[in-house]
């Protein structure tokens, strides 16, 4: 078995479905990971959802990117954090439907698609994600709306982005700037929060504890998946770091997709 450093008893048998992080698992930037096509040949036997904390891409963007890599996955199998935010807002008990969004055009589109009116001030809900056009004026309006009682929603607490130029502020840094000024804590939509995993599982018609979460980030994918009762598999192909004794403990650790595929084929197929 191609597991490495598994430190607790591994549950047997196939899960009801797969929830798979994309960046660092299926690809890195525009580069497909080795074994991507072979993984999907096998993964297609199970219900699966592909998830990302990136609030600047749409599910259709992800479908097209994977198609360029030779993998045919419908946008309906992709759940971005913008989609999760839209689903949450559609059912959230808000005082009104006015939304101030600090975020990408994609996030704004998703929020508008949930029946919200996009406004620049006096909002009923403030949604904060990665906003590369962020201004002081918008930050101040966000703080004012929340201080007056608006709901506070964050796409993720991911503080930094790793770019070709180096480390840059991520959505979590902008969330932190707002949070420093207000008494309220945000409701977080992205990994490691339960919202992302519960929404993905619901799309599969499953409970989170019936799924296997596959990811490359111990804190967001593994800790978040474990917190909702999912089995978790860490791939060392992305940002992770091998598990440390005091950190979240994945049920499985694989070097990359080929090792995961090999494990699935040998262990789940009978």
By CB under 5 A, tell whether 63 contacts Mg ion: no
Contact 140, 147 (CB under 8 A): no
Q: Which of 21, 63, 158, 251 binds Mg ion (CB under 5 A)?
A: 21
Local structure of 139: helix, strand or coil: helix
- For the bound state, the minimum distance from the C-beta of residue 54 to Mg ion, rounded and expressed in Å, comes to 9
Closest CA to 29 of 220, 154, 131, 163: 163
- For the bound state, the minimum distance from the C-beta of residue 216 to Mg ion, rounded and expressed in Å, comes to 4
Which of these ranges, 14-22, 64-72, 87-95, 224-232, lies near Mg ion under the rule CB under 5 A? 14-22
By CB under 5 A, tell whether 24 contacts Mg ion: yes
Q: Which of 124, 131, 141, 216 binds Mg ion (CB under 5 A)?
A: 216
Contact 25, 215 (CB under 8 A): yes
How many residues at the interface with Mg ion, by CB under 5 A?
A: 5
How far is residue 205's CA from residue 70's CA, in Å, rounded to a whole number? 27
By CB under 5 A, tell whether 158 contacts Mg ion: no
Q: Which of 17, 23, 252, 261 binds Mg ion (CB under 5 A)?
A: 23
- For the bound state, the minimum distance from the C-beta of residue 254 to Mg ion, rounded and expressed in Å, comes to 14
Instruction: State how far the alpha carbon of 205 is from the alpha carbons of 202, 209, 211, in Å.
Output: 5, 12, 11
The residue (of 54 and 145) whose beta carbon lies closer to Mg ion is 54
List, in sequence order, every residue forming a beta bridge with 102; answer none if it has no partner: 128
How far is residue 187's CA from residue 203's CA, in Å, rounded to a whole number? 21
How far is residue 213's CA from residue 18's CA, in Å, rounded to a whole number? 6
- For the bound state, the minimum distance from the C-beta of residue 246 to Mg ion, rounded and expressed in Å, comes to 22
The residue (of 20 and 101) whose beta carbon lies closer to Mg ion is 20
DSSP string, 191-235: TTSHHHHHHHHHHTTS-GGGEEEEES-IIIIIHHHHHTT-EEEEE
- For the bound state, the minimum distance from the C-beta of residue 220 to Mg ion, rounded and expressed in Å, comes to 7
Which of these ranges, 13-21, 103-111, 117-125, 223-231, lies near Mg ion under the rule CB under 5 A? 13-21
Residue in the shown chain whose Cβ atom is closest to Mg ion: 24
- For the bound state, the minimum distance from the C-beta of residue 21 to Mg ion, rounded and expressed in Å, comes to 4
Which positions lie near Mg ion, rule CB under 5 A?
Answer: 21, 23-24, 216, 238
């Amino acid at each position: 078995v191609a597991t490495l450093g598994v430190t607790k008893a591994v549950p047997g048998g196939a899960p009801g479905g797969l929830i798979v992080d994309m960046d660092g698992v299926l690809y890195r930037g525009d580069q497909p990971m080795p074994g991507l096509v072979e993984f999907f040949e096998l993964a297609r036997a199970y219900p699966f959802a592909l998830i990302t904390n990136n609030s600047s891409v749409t599910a259709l963007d992800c479908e097209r990117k994977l198609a360029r890599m030779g993998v045919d996955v419908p946008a309906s199998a992709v759940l971005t954090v913008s989609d999760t935010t839209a689903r949450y807002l559609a059912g959230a008990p808000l005082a009104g439907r006015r939304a101030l969004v600090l975020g990408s055009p994609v996030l704004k589109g998703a929020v508008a698609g949930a029946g919200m009116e996009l406004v620049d001030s006096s909002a009923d809900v403030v949604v904060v994600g990665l906003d590369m056009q962020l201004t002081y004026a918008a930050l101040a309006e966000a703080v004012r709306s929340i201080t007056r009682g608006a709901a506070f929603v964050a796409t993720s607490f991911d503080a930094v982005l790793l770019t070709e130029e180096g480390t840059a502020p991520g959505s979590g840094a902008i969330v932190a700037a707002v949070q420093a000024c207000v008494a309220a804590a945000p409701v977080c939509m992205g990994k490691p929060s339960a919202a992302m995993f519960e929404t993905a599982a619901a799309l599969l018609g499953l409970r989170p504890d019936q799924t296997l979460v596959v990811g490359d980030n111990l804190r967001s994918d593994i800790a978040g998946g474990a917190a909702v009762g999912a089995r978790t598999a860490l791939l060392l192909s992305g940002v992770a770091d091998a598990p440390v004794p005091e950190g979240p403990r994945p049920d499985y650790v694989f070097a990359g997709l080929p090792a995961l595929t090999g494990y699935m084929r040998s262990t789940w197929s009978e």
